[in-house]
Amino acid sequence: MKKVWVVLLVIIGLVVVAEISAPYLIARGLEVGLNKTLGVDVQLRLKSYPSLRMLLGQFDHISVVAKNVNLGGLSVSEYTLIAQEVDVNVRSLLGRRELTFNNQGNMEVQVVVAEGELSTYLWENIPELKGWRVQVNQGSVTVVGQAPILNAMVDMRLQGKFVPQGADKLAFIPELLELQNITLPQGVVDAVLQGAEFYIDLAAAPMPLELLDVKMEPGQLVLRAKVLQ
């Protein structure tokens, strides 16, 4: 009988140790895998009950916060991933430090892009507008700059919105063009901007995304998207 109690105590002790150590071991593996996937350091929170389920890669809730994640050339201020009821491939995670899923459950991402980052992205995609600034307002976006006309630098303002174009593209659609505070007709706007494209490609994200919602708020663009399977 004494030996039975000793064995039971040992088993209980092992279970307790596993309950304590499982979150750390798996969290470290997930952190490394996410660093590799997103290309930046992350802040990670895990929840699973009981904790031993983490050793099987099963999670009730995963929260990931990262900064400066690159979305196809666009650096974002904040990248927040919320995953619920997911099943991670533990062998791939611990063996190759690669993050893959047996079941993604429900995974959504919120991306915050500051107007300064949008300005830099604009310069890189349309070099002719180098020095122009993107200003994000409540419900609209204004692109401000100068252009040479008849040997003079003329102030120009282009107002519009970021509008979904399919499930994985968010494009800036011009609505109004002002030249020295004079509003130009839509036909002139279309002619001036013909062939110019300014868009965010969510398919180029480290984890390809499907756009769910976009909000234009003072100083920033806020996107909500679903992580594709």
pLDDT for position 19: 47
Output the 3-class SS for 200-215: EEHHHCCCCEEEEEEE
pLDDT for position 185: 66
Say what the pTM is.
0.80
170-193 pLDDT, tens per residue? 999 888 888 777 776 666 666 666
pLDDT for position 114: 95
Are the beta carbons of 89 and 59 closer than 8 angstroms?
no
pLDDT for position 9: 41
Which residue positions in the chain have pLDDT lower than 50?
Answer: 4-21
71-91 pLDDT, tens per residue? 888 989 899 999 888 888 777
pLDDT for position 11: 44
pLDDT for position 216: 95
